[in-house]
Amino acid sequence: MNRPLTERVRWAVVVAFAAAMAWVESACVYYLRLLVDRVQPYQPDPLPIVGALGNVELLREAATLMMLLTTGMLAGRTWQRRIGYMAIAFGVWDILYYVFLWIMSDWPASLLDWDILFLLPLPWWGPVLAPVSIALLMIAWGTLATQWPDRAAAAELTPALWVSSSIGIALALGVFMADALIALPDGRDAVTRVLPTSFNWPLLAVALLLMAAPVANLGWRRLGQG
């Protein structure tokens, strides 16, 4: 009789898949940036991809999210663990994406380099350190949520923690898309030409603290259980 995989093995498999996926993602982005001469994304006319190529890129991003979602669904045996494994996959993928892109292109030169983080539903802009910080939180929470003993429903969040996390996510999204939202009334071309000059670190810090509340709560409960 085949025994089910332990949670530690599932964690390792998810991390391995996310690492492989990160290399593929980095390679795709590297090819695309070479094609449009934007290895350094922070420069005038940062989004020259238009027409069919632009649509393909948007669908590629949507497909990436679907792959991360299905990874969590396949790896977890409960909804708690499915969400946790999805968070782990996303966090590992996001961090290694930058590591591998640096290996391929010598970019980013530092964690403060600007990047176009995502294009759906609008371009997200931010220094590399910002998404990496969120990715670390996702890995921490996902690990605590998936590796917790079944005898305790310790990863269940109270309504207050759900609200805290949701507000934090909304604030972070607002920070990343702030410049695109400001340019939106001027049309699509204005949005694609946006080149931010400052980043709202104080507001992102608040968002990170709010998103960290469930992680801290879960970690504290685990320490208490021993």
Averaged over 106-121, what is the pLDDT? 94
Residues 6+ apart with CB under 8 A from 70: none
**What is the reported pLDDT for 207?**
97
Burial 78-103 (b: 16+ CB within 10 A, else e): eebbbbbbbbbbbbbbbbbbbebbee
Measured distance CA(70)–CA(75) in Å, rounded: 8
pLDDT bracket for residue 4 (50, 70, 90): confident
The model's pTM: 0.91
Query: How confident is the model over 64-73, as pLDDT tens digits?
Result: 999 999 999 9
Between CA 196 and CA 190 the distance in angstroms is 12
- What torsion do the CA atoms of 75, 71, 39, 50 make, to the nearest 10 degrees? -170
Domain that residue 72 falls in:
7-225
Average pLDDT over residues 189-207: 94
50 or 217, which is more confident?
217
Is-cis flag, bond preceding 121, omega within 30?
yes
Q: CA-to-CA distance for 143 and 147, rounded, in angstroms?
A: 6
Q: Is residue 151 part of a domain?
A: yes
* 1 lies in some domain: no
* Domain count for the chain: 1
Is the residue at 2 inside a domain?
Answer: no
